[in-house]
């Protein structure tokens, strides 16, 4: 698949989990599987890495420097002749622009035992709860990690002259989101001075929309149209924009494979304190998929518990269909339209960032659950609320209900976790 030059790099290319198509890492602007069509959209590229186990290669607070040779964007740049010094300099210069817009550049975030919370939940001193605190990451959540790798790939492609546009004729970046992903996208787009179109639902929070506008994003409100098929109308409008030439700047792997690259930093960082269990909240699924995939690049997986709410649990349903169908997990990707269907009536939850009606990155998540002997968890709304109260009472992290939803999953099955076990959580976003 890769030529001699590429073989020295960490990532050799992409492979589709559904149709097994492969793409060399040197190929620019590969966002989706080459066999993707509007009639056959169920494809999902994954990164093919040859330099595992992944490890820190530079003692630096910025994960995009600390792990640089392991990234797909870095292998892409290397394959096109950019030197290591050029690649480091690019990260540093984008990070400085991000810091000017966001007030902070990218950071390896803390992953520490939460003593008071562990005691409150009855854990002994050898067990307990370890929290990865993403509330101080760029734009207040983990989402910017996914988009930084997307941006770096685009900037490299532009620099080496393989884009059909130039810096002065850039097409819009596009994303469908009304929350943290949109804010991360708008922050990075402003840093790169790249135009961005954001597709938001009519229910989007006025303060988030105002912040997006202040960052210079173009905002399109997307009510459901009579003619819309099932699924999120914002995603439909986003796909139309991409079909019209906009660049996918999405945090959904099947739409924008480059977002998977930077998302892995979470798992790489978590691996320093390998817990017995990982409870991870699931919306579109990129967070769980990247974290679990990256942990698996370093050692045995903790038991993965993918947490959704009663209001919207398409992953738990897909999991059941995947294991019960003919051939089980192994054949699930090929049975995509049977397993993963949009949740028909999305209800209310305070954890509104995980109400995606489809878990777009479901294949990576169910594979992680399966290989770790974990399970999906459906948290009740009282558990979502209680988890956030507990987080506020027993930690000093200003976490949102979406951000603390993993803790709600732990509350839901606390009785089957031993007091001596170590539980990992990701407090993924700040309260707005
Ligand atoms: C704070 C926070 N945590 C978790 C998630 C879920 O991530 P994913 O959609 O990748 O599953 C989101 C998504 O919006 C989020 O904003
Ligand atoms: Zn494919």
The mean pLDDT of the chain is: 96
DSSP secondary-structure letter at 114?
-
Residue 88 has pLDDT above 80, yes or no: yes
Q: Which ligand is nearest to the CA of 142?
A: 1
- List the one residue out of 47, 127, 118, 58 whose CA is nearest residue 87: 58
Q: Tell me if 281 CB under 6 Å of ligand 1.
A: yes
Q: Tell me if 353 CB under 6 Å of ligand 1.
A: yes
pLDDT in tens, 178-210: 799 999 999 999 999 999 999 999 999 999 999
Query: Tokens 């489809």 label which residue?
Result: 358
In what side-by-side order are the strands of the sheet with 375-379?
Answer: 111-113, 128-133, 422-427, 277-281, 303-309, 375-379
pLDDT at 52: 83
Q: Tell me if 364 CB under 6 Å of ligand 1.
A: no
Average pLDDT over residues 349-371: 97
For 285: left if phi > 0, alpha if psi spans -120 to 50, otherwise beta; the answer is left
pLDDT in tens, 382-411: 999 999 999 999 999 999 999 999 999 999
- Tokens standing for 42? 């169920």
Q: Which atom of ligand 1 is nearest to the CA of 282?
A: 11
Average pLDDT over residues 348-366: 97
pLDDT at 231: 86
Sequence-distant (≥ 6) Cβ neighbours of residue 345 within 8 angstroms: none
Q: Which atom of ligand 1 is nearest to the CA of 285?
A: 11
For 166: left if phi > 0, alpha if psi spans -120 to 50, otherwise beta; the answer is beta
Q: Which atom of ligand 1 is nearest to the CA of 141?
A: 1
Q: Tell me if 266 CB under 6 Å of ligand 1.
A: no
Strands 111-113 and 128-133: antiparallel
Average pLDDT over residues 28-47: 97
Residue 75 to residue 73: CA distance in whole angstroms: 6
Query: Tokens 């050029």 label which residue?
Result: 86
pTM for this predicted structure: 0.97
Residue 408 to residue 67: CA distance in whole angstroms: 31
pLDDT at 2: 36
Q: Give the residue, by CA position, lying nearest to ligand 1 atom 15.
A: 353
Residue 325 has phi, psi (to 5 degrees) of -75, 170
DSSP secondary-structure letter at 242?
H
What torsion, rounded to 10 degrees, do the Cα atoms 30, 32, 35, 38 define? -130
Q: pLDDT above 70 covers what percent of the chain? A: 98
pLDDT at 5: 38
Average pLDDT over residues 95-124: 98
Average pLDDT over residues 145-152: 98
pLDDT at 235: 94
What torsion, rounded to 10 degrees, do the Cα atoms 230, 231, 237, 242 define? -110
By CB neighbour count within 10 A (0-12 exposed, 13-18 middle, 19+ buried), where does 15 fall?
Answer: middle
b/e 125-142 (16+ beta carbons within 10 angstroms → b): eebbbbbbbbbebbbbbb
Q: pLDDT above 90 covers what percent of the chain? A: 95
Q: Tell me if 285 CB under 6 Å of ligand 1.
A: yes
Q: Are 142 and 262 in contact, with CB atoms under 8 Å apart?
A: no
Q: Tell me if 275 CB under 6 Å of ligand 1.
A: no
pLDDT in tens, 309-334: 999 999 999 999 999 999 999 999 99
Q: Tell me if 180 CB under 6 Å of ligand 1.
A: yes
pLDDT at 51: 85
Work out the pLDDT band at 300, boundaries 50, 70, 90. very high
Residue 365 to residue 354: CA distance in whole angstroms: 14
pLDDT at 170: 98
DSSP secondary-structure letter at 416?
G
pLDDT at 9: 61
What torsion, rounded to 10 degrees, do the Cα atoms 273, 279, 284, 285 define? 50
Residue 130 has pLDDT above 70, yes or no: yes
pLDDT at 178: 79
């Amino acid at each position: 698949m890769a030529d001699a030059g590429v073989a020295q790099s960490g990532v050799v290319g992409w492979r589709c989990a559904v149709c097994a198509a492969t793409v060399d890492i040197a190929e620019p602007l590969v966002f989706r599987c080459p066999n993707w069509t509007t009639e056959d959209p169920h494809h999902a590229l994954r990164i093919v890495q040859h330099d595992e186990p992944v490890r820190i290669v530079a003692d630096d607070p910025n994960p995009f420097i600390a792990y640089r040779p392991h990234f797909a964007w870095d292998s892409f740049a290397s394959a096109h002749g950019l030197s290591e010094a050029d690649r480091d300099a690019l990260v540093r210069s984008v990070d400085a622009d991000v810091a000017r817009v966001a007030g902070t550049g990218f950071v390896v975030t803390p992953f520490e035992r939460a003593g008071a919370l562990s005691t409150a939940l009855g854990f002994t001193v050898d067990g307990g709860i370890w929290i990865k605190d993403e509330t101080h990451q760029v734009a207040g959540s983990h989402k910017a990690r996914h988009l930084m790798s997307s941006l770096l790939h685009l900037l490299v492609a532009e620099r080496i002259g393989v884009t059909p546009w130039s810096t002065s004729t850039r097409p819009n970046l596009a994303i469908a989101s009304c929350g943290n992903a949109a804010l991360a996208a708008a922050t990075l787009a402003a840093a790169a001075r790249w135009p961005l179109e954001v597709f938001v639902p009519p229910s989007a929070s006025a303060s988030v929309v105002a912040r997006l506008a202040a960052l210079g994003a173009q905002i399109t409100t997307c009510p459901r149209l009579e003619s819309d098929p099932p699924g999120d109308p914002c995603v439909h409008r986003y796909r139309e924009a991409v079909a019209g030439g906009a660049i996918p700047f999405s945090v959904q792997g099947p739409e924008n494979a480059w977002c998977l690259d930077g998302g892995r930093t979470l798992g790489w960082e978590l691996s320093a304190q390998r817990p017995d269990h990982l409870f991870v909240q699931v919306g579109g699924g990129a967070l769980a998929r990247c974290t679990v995939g990256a942990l698996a690049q370093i050692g045995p997986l903790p038991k993965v518990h993918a947490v959704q709410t009663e209001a919207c649990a398409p992953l738990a349903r897909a999991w059941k269909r995947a294991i019960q169908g003919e051939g089980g997990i192994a054949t699930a990707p090929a049975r995509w339209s049977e397993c993963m269907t949009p949740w028909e009536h999305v209800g209310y939850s305070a954890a509104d960032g995980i109400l995606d009606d489809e878990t777009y990155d479901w294949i990576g998540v169910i594979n992680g659950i399966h290989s770790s002997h974990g399970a999906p968890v459906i948290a009740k709304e009282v558990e979502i609320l209680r988890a956030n109260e507990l987080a506020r009472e027993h930690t000093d992290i200003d976490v949102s209900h979406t951000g603390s939803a993993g803790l709600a999953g732990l509350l839901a099955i606390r009785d089957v976790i031993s007091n001596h076990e170590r539980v990992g959580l990701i407090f993924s976003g700040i309260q707005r």
